[in-house]
Chain A
Amino acid sequence: MADKPMLPELMKAHGVSRRGFLKYCASLTSLMALSPAMMPRVAHALENAPRPSVIWLSFQECTGCTESITRSHAPTIEDLIFNAVSLDYHHTLQAASGHQAEAAREKAMKDNWGKYVLVVDGSIPIKNEGFSCIAGISNLQMLKDTAAGAAAIVSVGTCAAFGGIPHANPNPTGAVAVSEIIKDKPIINVPGCPPIPVVMTGVLAHFLTFGVPELDELGRPKAFYGETIHDRCYRRPFYDKGMFAEGFDDEGAREGWCLYKLGCKGPTTKSVCATLKWNNGTSFPIEAGHPCLGCTEPDFWDNGGFYKPLSVPAGDYRKLGLAAVGAGAVAGAAGAVLARAGKAKAAAAHENVDAHDLEKKS
């Protein structure tokens, strides 16, 4: 990879000063949720780490993740991180297509065997491999082949990380997450539908500088998925005061009260939406007046409905409840009638007995 210039040289060539590099490192350190004391180490790592080759595979997905990561305009931190890697294959972004594109992928794999980073968005169908193919190669096959030579895999988006929307009930394609297929490589899950662009790039940056970040039990970097949205939500004081919007156009909604009753999944959803926010820090769904859907959690599509509050039963219990009331009433009445009949029978069978009768019997 000697032909690929290091990031500082690249920046120098673009007329960016050392100060600019320091500023970049400071912002990057903050973005990765590292202590500012780590800044010199980030700078050192960026100065010395070779630019790794990145192969980006898109399977059963909507391109939302790629849209998200390319949505920020030049030259933001995101772009600079992309300058720090060599994106060798991304079939949505690259000019080549078909067999030509596949040749580029195979070349990148061969040149960087064991060292490249594999980024995956989209889930993989396993009910029938043929459900989703690229250049005649099934997603399953391409993932297995490409993962074999990867240093690490980054599963970008909820589909790649957890199966996502293709995996939603009834899952016609048998869609699964990357981690269901690849078991022998470090996998970093970066869920979200889509993930926040700076989270994707922050994870890549962390991988470039310090390797695989610390992950939670679902394989998500703790720096970005360590706390619930509810805990960091600016509307949290309203939850604590018991002030809730009851509809999307009532007084509470206009005053910016808590959206719990409208189905907000903030309390069970781990993500940094409330602090990093979206669209270059402009806002996030709750700030825009919509409850959190919980898109960074597995099966978010099937977790009881977007507009059902968390404390509300998720099933179709109403009919069951009414049936139970009916059955209870019938059983109760029947029990009582039986008891009455028993009582009447006992009364009918009643004989007057005096002491003489008892003596006779014994």
Chain B
Amino acid sequence: MNNPNFDLLMWARGPGFDIALIIFAAGIVLRIVEIIVLGRKKDLAPAKGNGVAQGIKTIFSRSIPRKGLVHYAPITYIGGYIFHLGFFIAFFFFGAHIVFLDELLGFSQWWPEAISFQWPAFGRVIIESAVALAVLAMIALMYTRLTDPVRRALSTFDDYLVWVLSILPMVTGYIAVNKLFGDPVFMLALHILSVELLMIAFPFTKLMHAFTFVMARYYNGSIQGRKGAES
């Protein structure tokens, strides 16, 4: 006799994860390697400033909004921060996720004696508040996307797909942990499957920014830096 919910969970943890991981890892490496190997055209002009220093500086400075822009588009900026921070906290500081990352990246396997390498987990109150705020922020962001005619015109299928794929893991995770409804095993399976969908879409959508933002910011910063301009 089988438990269909458990079978689904085991598929999600087994073959489902394998498939998602292959596409995720191969896709991301493919895109990054391609970008790096393609390279940039050599700038033959004499440098007027330090491109490397400004490139590195820009990687961080672009995380701070420009003066006035917060007033111009408050929901986009504040909502964007809340979503990214909330997602980051839930992903990196929930106990079950820490043990997943540790297993995946193999810290404790590379250094068995450093099993306590795992960073401390946050409590339920912090994690769940972060998730709730992140979901609310995403809803607000979608609202502005739909109501602002310019943003609406600029939005593509990719934007809506990524929104759905990003909000699903948070919603399913919250439901699974709190057992709001449904069989807990089934909800856990759904949560893992939703993450796998996110992983599969990752290399082929704007989600890639999580990896390429460093390169892009450095690239922009160093161009300006070389010219002696601000960035």
A–B touch (CB < 8 A): the answer is: yes
Give A contacts to B, CB under 8 Å.
161-163, 177, 179-180, 189, 218-219, 228, 231, 239-244, 246-247, 250, 258, 260-261, 267-268, 297-299, 302-304, 308-315, 317-318, 320-321, 323-325, 327-329, 331-333, 335-337, 339-340
Instruction: Let me know if B14 and A218 touch, CB within 8 A.
Output: no
Tell me if B28 counts as interface (CB < 8 A to partner A): yes
Instruction: Let me know if B96 and A333 touch, CB within 8 A.
Output: no
Specify the chain A residue showing the minimal Cβ separation from B28.
A328
Q: List 12 A-B contacts (CB under 8 A).
A: A261-B98, A303-B10, A311-B99, A320-B18, A321-B25, A324-B25, A329-B33, A332-B29, A333-B37, A336-B34, A336-B38, A337-B37
Q: Report the Cα distance A327→B23, complex, angstroms.
A: 10
Give B contacts to A, CB under 8 Å.
1-3, 6-7, 9-10, 13-15, 17-18, 21-38, 93-100, 103-104, 106, 115-116, 118, 120-124, 127, 179, 184-185, 188, 192
Q: Which of A241, A250, A314 contacts B123 (CB 8 A)?
A: A241
- Majority secondary structure, A binding face: helix
Q: Report the Cα distance A311→B15, complex, angstroms.
A: 14
For A317, what are the chain B residues with a Cβ–Cβ distance below 8 Å? 17-18, 21
Instruction: Let me know if A267 and B21 touch, CB within 8 A.
Output: no
Given A268-B9, A304-B13, CB of A312 within 8 Å of CB of B184: no
For A340, what are the chain B residues with a Cβ–Cβ distance below 8 Å? 37-38
Q: Which of A189, A242, A318, A327 contacts B26 (CB 8 A)?
A: A327
Q: Shortest Cβ distance from A31 into chain B, in angstroms?
A: 25
Q: Report the Cα distance A162→B13, complex, angstroms.
A: 21
Q: Report the Cα distance A323→B104, complex, angstroms.
A: 15
Instruction: Let me know if A315 and B99 touch, CB within 8 A.
Output: no
Instruction: Let me know if A304 and B37 touch, CB within 8 A.
Output: no
For A309, what are the chain B residues with a Cβ–Cβ distance below 8 Å? 96, 99-100, 103
For B192, what are the chain A residues with a Cβ–Cβ distance below 8 Å? 311
Instruction: Let me know if A315 and B17 touch, CB within 8 A.
Output: yes
Instruction: Let me know if B3 and A244 touch, CB within 8 A.
Output: no
Q: Shortest Cβ distance from A167 into chain B, in angstroms?
A: 9
For A240, what are the chain B residues with a Cβ–Cβ distance below 8 Å? 123-124
Instruction: Let me know if A298 and B6 touch, CB within 8 A.
Output: yes
Given A179-B1, A250-B116, A313-B17, CB of A242 within 8 Å of CB of B33: no
Q: Shortest Cβ distance from A174 into chain B, in angstroms?
A: 14
Instruction: Let me know if A311 and B97 touch, CB within 8 A.
Output: yes
Q: Shortest Cβ distance from A313 into chain B, in angstroms?
A: 4
For A161, what are the chain B residues with a Cβ–Cβ distance below 8 Å? 1
For B7, what are the chain A residues with a Cβ–Cβ distance below 8 Å? 299
For A247, what are the chain B residues with a Cβ–Cβ distance below 8 Å? 115
Specify the chain A residue showing the minimal Cβ separation from B34.
A332
For A331, what are the chain B residues with a Cβ–Cβ distance below 8 Å? 26, 30
Instruction: Let me know if B22 and A321 touch, CB within 8 A.
Output: yes
For A304, what are the chain B residues with a Cβ–Cβ distance below 8 Å? 10, 13-14
Q: Report the Cα distance A317→B27, complex, angstroms.
A: 16
Instruction: Let me know if B22 and A297 touch, CB within 8 A.
Output: no
Q: Shortest Cβ distance from A235 into chain B, in angstroms?
A: 12
Q: Report the Cα distance A299→B17, complex, angstroms.
A: 20
Q: Shortest Cβ distance from A269 into chain B, in angstroms?
A: 9
Q: Report the Cα distance A152→B170, complex, angstroms.
A: 45
Given A261-B99, A314-B14, CB of A328 within 8 Å of CB of B29: yes
Q: Report the Cα distance A311→B103, complex, angstroms.
A: 10
